[in-house]
Structure 1
Amino acid sequence: MAQHDSDGVKRGRASFGAFVRKPVERSETAGADAQRDPGAQQDTDARQGSLEAVTAWPDDAVEVGAVLDAYGLKGWVKIGAHADAGRGGDVLLSARRWWLQRGADRRSAKITQAKTHGDTIVAHLAGVDDRDAAYALRGFRVFVRREDFPTLDDADEFYWVDLIGLDVVNEQSVALGKVADMIDNGVHSIMRVEYPATGKDGQPATAERLIPFVGVYVKTVDQAARRIVVDWEADY
């Protein structure tokens, strides 16, 4: 997100764009064991049978975390989120349905309860009623539909995922490239803008420029026009 501080300058905060970029540690043990042992795979499938297997995947699904482990004895799972609560991780608390993927296995789950627990989020998925069933979900990546993200209260706040892909131009209408990624340096967000260039061998190449996502440089963000106007020269 970017937001105005009291001095009127927009400050950056990590948000949903980090969901599609930032990895979390997760165990693939359950999936690996199942591949070695067909019987284990069948047992895993039985434990996950309460979750809905899906073939149609939402077009606006955004990865927001991964299942790290079981939590407790009653079917709760522990999620490593790609953003903290208050910085985008809130969607895991507010969304009533998650979409889960591990390899080619895709499932949908209704969320009955979710809450923060230290630097993780713990949740109960409908139909997952014991520790074994929760443990079998380790390694699933967790997605939430973009339409389920909480509404931002400030007009100067943005989800990273909505900025990626926007054209960047300067105030003289010179095209600077497209937002390929967002970076959080701990103080503010930075746009990584890619643009076509020519390599040392004379062949087409892709170059990048890093533009701080702060008010002194970012003048307007027009999501409808898919354009960001910045005070930045092409030769910076």
Structure 2
Amino acid sequence: MGLELTHSVIIGSFASPHGVKGWIKINSATEPTSAILNYQPWLLATAAGWQPIKLIDTKLLGNHLIALLENYHDRESVAELTGKHIATLRSQLPKLSAKEIYWADLEGLEVINQAGVKLGKVDYLFATGANDILVVVGEKRYLIPYRSQQTVIKVDLENKQLLVDWDLNF
């Protein structure tokens, strides 16, 4: 039986095959890119839930990470993984201070502005260099910079809500 996503967190995804011997490029959501290797086991979404997938070898090629996985021995077999998420057990992640939060914990939260208007839910986040951006999807799509105590007023994980200082016209 597979693990539920509540016990796991997505740390990357499989990109395209690399060569003909079963190697595949990895899109890491960790910083630095190679930190994804610190989180074991890797989990792969299947019809039965999240299942462990065993790493045989990895290589860093410039800014790109490639991996060789158990039971994937050629380009065709590993191509099946293209676009699939890589997760790890939440227990593998480092403990954060009280003021820190993982992006994965923000995804799915209901976003409400200070006027009490529900803007939608956090779909995902991305980094721009200057700020991390919340992508909020509801009746409209909002791109809200994550600035603690400026645009993001309160994160309420218990009630699955995010209070923001955000005008509907932005």
Given the two structures, how large is their TM-score scaled by the length of structure 1? 0.52
Q: Structure 2 length normalisation: TM-score? A: 0.67
1:41 maps to what in 2?
A: none
Root-mean-square deviation (CA), in Å?
A: 3.7
CA distance in structure 1 between the partners assigned to 2:123 and 2:28 by the alignment:
18
1:188 offset after TM fit, Å? 1.3
Output the amino acid matched with 2:73.
A
Taking the aligned partners of 1:72 and 1:234, their CA distance within structure 2 comes to 50
- Structure 2: state its 5+ residue gaps: none
Match of 1:212 in 2: 145
Among 224, 227, 230, which residue is 2:158 paired with?
224
**Which of the numbers 79, 83, 87 marks the counterpart of 2:29?**
83
| Residue deviations 1:180-205 (CA, integer Å, cap 9, x gap) | 3324334212222233xxxxxxxxxx
Whole-angstrom distance in 2 between the partners of 1:101 and 1:164: 18
Alignment-derived partner of residue 4 in structure 2: 59
Which sections of structure 1, spanning at least 5 residues, go unmatched? 1-55, 196-205
- What are the within-5 Å matches in structure 2 for residues 1-236 of structure 1? 56-60=1-5, 62=10, 64-66=12-14, 68-69=16-17, 77-86=23-32, 90=35, 92-100=36-44, 108-111=52-55, 114=58, 116-125=60-69, 127=70, 133=73, 135=75, 136-140=77-81, 141-147=84-90, 149-195=92-138, 206-215=139-148, 216-236=150-170
Of the two structures, which has the highest relative contact order with CA contacts closer than 8 Å and spacing of 6 or more?
1
Alpha-carbon offset, residue 230 of structure 1:
1.6
Q: Distance in 1 between matches of 2:147 and 2:94?
A: 21
User: Which of 1 and 2 has greater Rg?
Assistant: 1
| 1:138–1:67 CA distance, 2 compared to 1 (3 A) | farther
Percent identical pairs in the alignment equals: 23
CA contact (8 A) 1:67 1:137 kept: no
